[in-house]
Structure 1
Amino acid sequence: MDDTPSPRNAINRFVQAVSNTVQAPVIWFREKVVEPNRTPYPWYHQKFRRVPTIDECYTDDPVCYYEAQLQFKRDKLVDNEILNILRMRFEDCVMYEAPDHVRKCRPLLEEYEKASENWFIKYGDLGAYGNVIDAYMKQKHRMVWERRHGPVGTGMKEAAVEVEAH
């Protein structure tokens, strides 16, 4: 049965009749056509299509910037969760393998350290309000540095040091 209360006066009856006239076809179409043809999919496994990255967007395309920003935020959340899972696995291993944890948990620690290094390369020093453009510029500056001086952390090339000294 319909769970709406019965109208009190003529105006309420008229409004309800108009509402039913407009809503009834929409409700029927949704219940009889849309929902039977829809495949159920859990919301927590929602898959978003990959959108163009910020380097593929034109400079006058704000929609592309917005989509790239949302993709960047989703990627950051996923990378944060991956890092969190790796950290929890290592901590669980240390708790479980108490006296021999240094030897037995070494592969998990190395995997976590590599993942955290990669996370910092991509998202580190962006701050809380870092956006996709800041991350892209950080990547660009890192590539320029590596082209001039070699990989970050290995020190500067000898020729570059000599040129700056003169």
Structure 2
Amino acid sequence: MFFNIDALKIVYCINAPCVNPTESIVEPNQQKQNWYHQRFRRVPTIDQCYTDDAVCRFEADQQFRRDRMVDNEIVNILRQRFEDCTLYEAPDHMVKCRPLMDQYEKATENWFIKYGDLGGYANAKTAYMKQKHRLIWERRHGPVGSGMKEEAAH
């Protein structure tokens, strides 16, 4: 079936006002994203909120919960990688999987420093207080796990 050139010009004249702005304006300005999950904007943390600002505190709590879920998944992925490596590298797994084990142990330690002993109903304020108490302890006694400083003799 052959088309008449005039018929193609008519179709182009009808489609051009719709297609040209889309191809020249909309598509170049769209952000191409490589992820499929929703990205939330970062909100002020709990230490930046006023004590009577309930909305700010709620947003900080929601961000804390999202961050905790992300950190949980990171630790789970690292653990799964180490377990897969252990199964795959059966007799020599302690040598070949050592970097993965070190990475997993460091991530677990960092997770416990931030979220450990907070319980299931923790919020941003309790995590902030835990961080504050840890910093005070380290200022007075040195790093946690290193023992207490000796009292200076006067």
TM-score normalised per structure 2: 0.76
3-state SS of 1:99 partner: helix
Q: Which has the higher contact order (CA 8 A, sep 6+)?
A: 2
Gapped regions of structure 1 (runs ≥ 5): 1-31
Residue aligning to 1:144: 136
Equivalent of 1:95, from 77, 87, 90?
Answer: 87
1:42 Cα deviation after fit:
8.6
Deviations 1:23-72 (A, max 9, x none): xxxxxxxxx9xxx8695879832111100000010111000000000000
Count of residue pairs brought into register by the alignment: 128
TM-score normalised per structure 1: 0.71
3-state SS of 1:95 partner: helix
Residue aligning to 2:54: 62
Q: Hey, what's the Cα distance between the residues in 1 that align with 2:99 and 2:151?
A: 38
Q: Hey, what's the Cα distance between the residues in 1 that align with 2:60 and 2:141?
A: 30
Q: Hey, what's the Cα distance between the residues in 1 that align with 2:101 and 2:140?
A: 32
Matched, 1:130 2:142: no
Q: Hey, what's the Cα distance between the residues in 1 that align with 2:34 and 2:121?
A: 31
Using a 3 Å threshold, how does the CA distance of structure 1 residues 43 and 144 change in structure 2: closer, same or farther? same
